[in-house]
Amino acid sequence: MAVNENTRLPNKHSLYLAKSGYGKTQTLRRRSGIPERGARVVLWDNNKDHEAHRFNRLSDFFRALAAANRSGKGFRIAYTGEAAPHLFELWAQGVWSILDGNRLTYCLIEEYSDCCRGPGILDYSKEKYHRRLWTQGRKYGGVIHTTSQRPQLISKDSLGNAGEIWAGRMDTSAAERVGKEIDTPWREIMACNVGEFFHKTEKETQKEQVFTPI
Ligand SMILES: Nc1ncnc2c1ncn2[C@@H]1O[C@H](COP(=O)(O)OP(=O)(O)OP(=O)(O)O)[C@@H](O)[C@H]1O
Ligand SMILES: [Mg+2]
């Protein structure tokens, strides 16, 4: 169970949204603010985009996560097996069990649309822990950083609860949905080049050149 609730923790949940190859993973690496050393990082990383101790089976991942949590030190532990909403619910339950309001736990989720049954509100009866990560994780030190190529398919809980959104090049239906959330015309989102993102914070939305592609 998540322990030590702390309602004063800020909302740092972040979404990185753009079509393939437009710089979500690069932006997450450069701008997520996850410390290089000593941080508690738990990953859902089916394409092995990030360095971590990797586990293809959830049972092995859970064992490693529990041991890492007991150690009291930082860790980077990734589930790299198959992606599906019912598997993500199990992953979320495992993550919920180690959250602690006295210590931040970064939850890094690649291609979040694979974890969602659809774009609506998460169904509490089927996706209790998935929903809890978005709605209550902040108070227990959870900081979610997640990417998606298909933001038209991701849960309403994620778009509604993200403190920050990075929106790069995407197609019309995706740009329409995200444009409403970040108060930016969809045509401007569709015109972003690789490395260019609209960055929405609690205060404002600004266009930024996050990196120049090599
Ligand atoms: N170290 C780097 N510095 C600058 N540009 C880079 C670097 N590594 C990759 N790129 C460029 O960034 C682009 C790919 O970015 P990235 O891998 O972040 O995309 P993505 O949005 O995560 O795609 P996908 O959804 O397929 O994972 C490519 O155009 C590549 O040339
Ligand atoms: Mg990527």
Residue owning the nearest CA to atom 27 of ligand 1: 20
Tokens standing for residue 144: 């979610």
Pick the closest to residue 50 from 21, 26, 69, 14 (CA basis). 26
Cα 77 to ligand 2 centroid, rounded to whole Å: 18
pLDDT in tens, 92-135: 999 999 999 999 999 999 999 999 999 999 999 999 999 999 99
Q: In angstroms, what is the span from residue 212 Cα to ligand 1's centroid?
A: 10
The set of protein residues with a Cβ atom below 6 angstroms from ligand 1 is: 18, 20-26, 149, 194, 211, 213-214
pLDDT tens per residue, range 13-37: 999 999 999 999 999 999 999 999 9
Share of the chain above pLDDT 90, in %: 100
Q: Best mutation site among 22, 24, 25, 26 for ligand 1, i.e. most ligand atoms within 8 A of its Cβ? A: 26
pTM score above 0.95: yes
- Give the tens place of pLDDT for each residue, 146-171: 999 999 999 999 999 999 999 999 99
Measured distance CA(181)–CA(200) in Å, rounded: 9
Rounded CA separation 25/23 (Å):
6
Residue 16's pLDDT is: 98
> Can you spell out the DSSP letters for 37-77?
SS-EEEEE-TT--S-SEEESSHHHHHHHHHHHHHHTS-EEE
User: What integer pLDDT is reported at residue 204 of this predicted model?
Assistant: 96
- Give CA angle at 24 (95, 77), nearest 5°: 30
Q: What is the pLDDT of residues 167-197, one digit of tens each?
A: 999 999 999 999 999 999 999 999 999 999 9
Domains annotated on the chain, with CATH: 14-209 (3.40.50.300)
pLDDT grade for 71, boundaries at 50, 70 and 90: very high
